[in-house]
Amino acid sequence: MRFSALGTAVLASAALVVPLAPPALASPTATVAAVAPETVPADQHEHGHGRHDDHRLDRGPDGRDREERARTDARLQKVLDGIVAAGAPGVVAEVRDGRQVWTGRSGKADRTRGLPPRTDSRFRAGSVTKSFVATVVLQLTAEGELRLDDPVERHLPGVVPNGGKITVRQLLGHRSGLFNYTDRLWPGGFKEAYENRFRHYAPGELIAEATRHRPLFAPGTSGSYSNTNYVLLGMLIEKVTGNSARTEIMRRIIGPLGLDGTSFPEASPRIPSPHARGYIRLEGSASPYTDMTETDMSWAWTAGALISTTHDLNIFYKALVGGRLLPAKLMKDMLEIHPLVDGSSYGLGVARVDAPEFGRAFGHTGGAPGFTTHSYTLANGSRQVTLSVNSMPVTEEVDLASRKATLALLAMGAKSN
């Protein structure tokens, strides 16, 4: 089993990418434990996480509006229940639609204690990290600290073979041809990853693993998803700024946007509270769930170590695609999508989803041991959707249900239709 093979699925003419996820296998059945959602105005949540899961606000000025809202809530909730019914332990989601915010949850945050998820819980966001890292690199480009067509060798001499032919733009868009180091980091799959969950990796070790393997193609001639690209971009940020990648992500994005639930871990294997337990199946779909909440994420670093919340990621993608973080020219570069060899497509740190039900959306998905994240915003900024499943989807059913749920929530929104 390849631990980090790129999983894709085409649903309603849209490919949703799970960059750090393993191949899908067969799925067991599961019972559903649903908890009622909450509906509150968006401006109540813009700058904090003090809400409680039992808090409700009036859904409308009269009974008809309340009934209509209740029907919408039920439809949204059914989407989340479907993910748990497919075999996931639990799921939380936030849908932002104009000034309306809907948050929902289903299943269990802790299978041992039987606790339901909290909608303000933190989780490992996996490769959603790449959108943050790409934003920092493009900001440095806007500031004249580097150029997108600079060769890697100019900033990181001798770090990768053929670095004089690989550009910063190609790293951002997965067009470098560099081997994806996570495809061989743990040949024993999840079981080996679990046994090494507290091992700390230096970025140089990850690059060394990648360069032990032949490139997949000449730079710029094709596209293939590789976490190696984003480890190199983390090293590039540190070389250009003289600061840690974590420092630059915090001061340029997390701080200015007030993302109180978002952090970039260093050595700690823990997730700040509140959070769900994160589960994996060590030996395929027939094996039981194993708790892998605590793990050293240095193996993913700037390719996938970010911790966040559904609320924060919705704020981030709305700000990003809305032009608050980058100048228009670089935003255009970021959103220019090119095909990858697996049939999916990618811009500079973002993916695109097209469907007739909602038009076009941009964002990213991510998988890290114990968690899977889908986060997208409509291209016009009118709706954002983020959902987090507290398991790595090693079954086709959970994987497919999560992808379908993301598309359904993007289409339905928090308003009555």
Active-site annotation, residues: 127
Number of other CB atoms surrounding residue 258 within 10 Å: 12
For helices 129-142 and 310-321, angle between their N-to-C axes, nearest 10 degrees:
30
Taking the C-alpha atoms of residue 259 and residue 276, their distance in angstroms, rounded to an integer, is: 19
Pairing of β 371-378 and β 359-368: antiparallel
Taking the C-alpha atoms of residue 379 and residue 279, their distance in angstroms, rounded to an integer, is: 33
Sign of torsion over alpha carbons 174, 175, 181, 187: positive
Taking the C-alpha atoms of residue 279 and residue 392, their distance in angstroms, rounded to an integer, is: 7
Q: Alpha helix locations (H) across 116-226?
A: 129-142, 152-155, 168-172, 189-195, 203-211
Pairing of β 383-389 and β 90-97: antiparallel
Taking the C-alpha atoms of residue 227 and residue 174, their distance in angstroms, rounded to an integer, is: 9
Taking the C-alpha atoms of residue 417 and residue 414, their distance in angstroms, rounded to an integer, is: 9
Q: How far is CA 246 from CA 90, 189, 252, 297, 402, in A?
A: 29, 28, 10, 13, 29
Enter the DSSP assignment of 167: B
* Count of H-run helices and E-run strands, the chain: 11, 15
411's tokens: 């289409």
Q: Which helix (H) or strand (E) holds 366?
A: strand 359-368
